[in-house]
Every structure is written in C-alpha cells, then in structure tokens.
Structure 1
C-alpha cells in the first residue's frame, strides 16, 4: 500500500485492517543466553523463561537496535518557536508567528522578568485560563523549570531557553515511552533473524505462537497487535504534536504516535515482516512479561550446542510442545526443518552417551 493510503486510514480502520491480514501464527526468535539482571544483579536466561512461562517481554523502544525505532520526527527549532508563541499567548501577549524566534523569545523573557521583579515568583504570570488539567500542570512544570534554571544561570534569557529544551526532552521521552513493545516475525526460516543477535547466530531457538482471535483471555493481546509500516520517509509531526502537547491523548494523537513512530521503520528492515504488540505503560509496575498466545512449536537453531539442545528438548517434552531442528537446504540459500528427529541425530546421541 502507498504510505498516504495507510495514513488516511486512521487508527480504527488500520486496526480493523490489521485483524484481516494477521497471520495465524507468529514467531519470535530467542538468543538463549544468560544475562545479568540490572536490578537484582542475578544471572537469568530470559529466553528459557519465555519458553517455560509462555510469556513475552515488553521492551522500551530505546533498547532496540534501530536508532530510528519509535523516534517521532519533531524538529526542535520548530518546537521551540511554537512553544514560545504559545507561552506568549498564555501571558496575554500578541505576537506575530512570522517574527524571528529570537524576537519572540525576547518578548516572553522580558514579560517573565518584569513579573518576577515585582512578585518574586512566576506563579500567576499566565493569565489565560488553562483548557485542561494537563495544560495547568504543563504550565506549572515549565515555570518551575524557569526558576530552577534561573537559580543556576542567573540569566532569564538562558533560563527560558533551557526550560524549553528540558520540556522538549521530556516530551520526546514521553512520546517514545507511552507504551512498551514486543516484536514478532511471520516465518521461522529467516536467515537474517537466525544469523543475527536475535537468535545468537543460529545458536538460539524460535518459538511459534498460534493466534486465537476468538479467545477472551487473549483479547487485549489480539487487539493490540499491528503490522509494521516500512518506508523511506519520516513524517514531520512537529506542528501537530506540539498542538496536542498539553492535552490528553486522544485516538487521533495515538494514531499519530503509532503511524509516525512505534509502527514506522526504514524500508531497510522490511525483510523482518514484523508485527508488534503495543501495550501502554502502567505506573508502579516493573514486571513487563505478559502471557501470550499458546506456544505450538519450537524450532532449534542449526548451531545450537548439544547441551543447550538437550535442555530445550526436555522443556518441550515436559510441556508437550512439538519441536524440530533447523538445518540448511542443500540446493538453495534457505533454512528448513530437519527430517531427522533431534534425539536420533548422531551428534546429539554421541553427546548424551
């Protein structure tokens, strides 16, 4: 589909379209490596945990290998210009949006400075009544930033500029961390997925999940799965997202965040044919493992060491999960199921003698 066709769908139509084209099975590649938990300092194998507990981990986009991942294109210079105009408006000032940024900044700085000299605070400098509690809180945060920066720099102009910069950083972070993500493929035979860090260069394994559209216990999972949108173009969302900054998130804003950020990747990644589970962050929790669709098969990497292979097979047998080894095709550059049962493989049998 063309990019503008997808964009014009909006959130509701795109969500319905996603359900029509969702595959019956999704796949996730695991490296099967032990790592040190940053919070506890203990060693853990999250790949094994995912297999044993039938869970998937929801990551923050900042942990992904694509530097553009979930990064919405909001130009700082435009953001600064629009926010200075907005704060002037909230002070009751009429400024021309076509004025240079520096001139608008000077008008706002002088107003804040004059008010501060008389009142020794900025508490009521905004005379325009906030349209929402979100806007009221945003006003308070901005003014607090100005006072904090003023105490550091003793320069009102720098204080205002630094406050805008801090506000921008916070906003970008909040847009990227509105939700957490788990990623899935549509095939267990991708050489690029097996060969990279996803499956530890063929030493890991791949789990097959069967999608159950009508099962009530998976309703939240099913309705929050979406296909990725691949393109060369990054949409400039600056003006639109700045206008929504101090408002509650609506369906339209959510679609903009999804379409331009969480579900948009460079065409270079199209080989992944990725689907994403997007779930909103909930305050106070630290466990981001969620139950996923049933595991219906496990694929063992071509280079998986016998000791690890034995462990995965034992888990699969214990949980009655079918499994198969992956091998190279002798005629094509493709991966395929191995026709020999792992237990009958000479390499495996020799290891277990």
Structure 2
C-alpha cells in the first residue's frame, strides 16, 4: 500500500501513559522524535559512501572543474557533514497499520511501556500538510508534514555525493537530492521489523531551521487535526486504572465520539484480545 492510499484508513500508535503524554493530549500537541533516539540503532541511520578517485575524475569532467585529488578527503568530510546537518533537522513519529492482535503483542512490549500504556486509533484525513511561517523579518517560510509508508529492506540506503554531483546541474539540485536521500533513509527499516506495517509522519524543516546548527532530539508540534482524527483508545493489559481514567477524561473532552477498549490476556493460547470498556 502506498502512502497516498492511506487516506480514510486507520493507523495505530502505541504510547506510554506518562505525564508528558497526558500533557500533550491536553494541550493538543504531538511529539516528533529524532531517529537517533530510537530503540533500533540501525533505524534511519544514513550510510555515507565516500567519493573515490575515479568518481572525483568523473565529477571534474562533468562540472568542467580542475580540483586536485588532494581535495578528496576535505570534500568527503564536508559532504558527510552536510548530510548529517540536514538529517538532524528532520523528525518523525511512527504508526502501525497492523490490526493483527496476535502479532501486536510485540509492539505493546516495545512501545507501550511493556503493556502499561495505551494505543491510539487514528483515522487518516490527508497525507500532506503545509504550514506557512512568518518570522520576525516578515519573510515567509514553511514546514511540511508528510505521511510515508515505511519500506523494509536488507540494507540501509547509501548516500553517494558522487552520484548526486553527477546528477545535478546546480546547488539547488544538490540540495533537493540531499533531502531526498534523507527522506529515503527515514522511511527505511530492516526487514525484521516488517510485521509492524509502519507509517511515519516526517517533519520537513523550514529553510531557517536547516540553516540553524542546533541539534535537537525531538520537536513538539501542534496536533495535525487536518491530518489525523482520534477515533479510539485501547488500553494495555497492565495499564493502571488511574491512567485509564485520566486518559478517558481527556479524550472524551476533545474527541467525544472516540471508543474505548482494553486488552486482556488469554492464558489458554498466550495471546492478547481486546474488548469494549
């Protein structure tokens, strides 16, 4: 299924029943993380392919340049630093398209604080959202939220500055290719995770954010109401009653039509099942 086919369908997000999570629900906020904070150390990590002497000669020929080969180490350092700088400005939040309760036990364990949290059921309204920003200098800038289906692979994507240099005509083309490489990396996971059937909202930074050298571990944004609508909550089988009541009260005030369910353990087959509250 492609990301642009997901509109009107449902996605699920497993959450901890933490104070921060409750505050974000109350304040209509959503937390997006930098991939460096993920539990999988290989998730969304760019692989850099240094330029070789052969590549260097091809780039020199195409660009009609006469850079000496002694510049190769410096070029590689600059190109890798530029990739990481752009990469550090993108943030994501993750969802599952899986409704397979037998397999979801792993996601409850990994992402919902070992079944003490809850799962949010979202209806996808649209897959792209643009937001215009006007800064103090009155210069228009914009950020974008984009829903992407995760692609599962045996290897992580490789960023090759030589390929980008050979396929670009100007600096603007190169910037676009770097962003595309970052997006490709952010939507790729190793195939061992394929059971998650994951989708991600990717935060595309503004030009001002790209120019900023600050490195953040996450970003708090306004909840994208025109992208997602909360239609239900399922509580983990170990979720405390106090957390259930607090979450129910918050959700009922903002999404009165949302349904509530809870997971229970079926000890006869060691599987989870959910039932209405």
Q: 1:175 to 1:69 in 2, by over 3 A?
A: farther
SS in 2 for 1:316: helix
Structure-1 residue corresponding to 2:260: 323
Report the secondary structure of 1:70's partner residue: coil
Contact 2:118 2:233 survives alignment (8 Å): yes
Given the alignment, which residue of 153, 169, 173 partners 2:84? Answer: 173
Choose which of 156, 163, 174 in structure 2 pairs with 1:240.
Answer: 163
Residue 83 of structure 1: CA displacement?
A: 6.2
Query: Are the counterparts in 1 of residues 59 and 165 from structure 2 also a CA contact under 8 Å?
Result: no
The residue number in structure 1 matching 2:183 is 258
Cα pair 2:45 2:156 within 8 Å, conserved: no
Q: Hey, what does 1:228 align to over in structure 2?
A: 150
**1:212 pairs with 2:134:** no
Structure 2 residues not aligned, in runs of 5+: 132-143
Q: Do the aligned partners of 1:228 and 1:263 also contact (CA within 8 Å) in 2? A: yes
1:19-56 CA-to-partner distances (Å, cap 9, x unmatched) read: 125561111111123xxxxxxxxxxx221133324432
Matched, 1:70 2:44: yes
Counterpart of 2:33 in 1: which secondary structure? coil
2:12 to 8, 27, 44: 27
RMSD: 3.7
Question: Aligned partners of 2:271, 2:181: CA distance in 1, in Å?
Answer: 38
What is the alpha-carbon distance in structure 2 between the residues aligned to residue 66 and residue 246 of structure 1? Answer: 36
Match of 1:7 in 2: none
CA distance in 2, matches of 1:228, 1:297: 23
Aligned length: 246
Give the structure with the larger helix fraction. 1
Give the equivalent residue in structure 1 for 2:22.
48
Partner of 2:135: none
- Identify the residue that residue 97 of structure 2 maps to in structure 1: 186
CA offset at residue 274 of structure 1? 0.6
Offset of 1:195 from its aligned partner? Answer: 0.9
> What corresponds to 2:274 in structure 1?
337
Picking from 230, 239, 249, the partner of 1:295 is 230
Provide, for residues 210-255 of structure 1, a one-character-per-residue CA deviation record: whole Å limited to 9, x for no partner: 11249xxx74499711110001133443132455597225665544
Contact 2:83 2:178 in 1 (8 A): no
Over residues 115-158 of structure 1, what are the superposed CA-to-partner deviations in whole Å (9 max), with x where a residue is unaligned?
Answer: xxxxxxxxxxxxxxxxxxxxxxxxxxxxxxxxxxxxxxxxxxxx
What corresponds to 2:35 in structure 1? 61
- CA offsets 1:313-339 (integer angstroms, 9 cap, x no match): 332333323222111235544322235
| Equivalent in the alignment of 2:197 | 273
2:112 alignment partner in structure 1: 199
Deviation at 1:295, TM superposition (A): 1.2
Aligned counterparts of 1:270 and 1:166: Cα–Cα separation in 2: 34
Are the counterparts in 2 of residues 195 and 202 from structure 1 also a CA contact under 8 Å?
yes
Q: Which has the higher contact order (CA 8 A, sep 6+)?
A: 2
TM-score, length of structure 1 as denominator length: 0.58
- Structure richer in strand, relative to its length: 2
Matches of 2:10 and 2:272, distance apart in 1: 18
Aligned to 1:8: none
Superposed displacement of residue 262, structure 1? 1.2
Alignment of 1:93 with 2:66, yes or no, is: yes
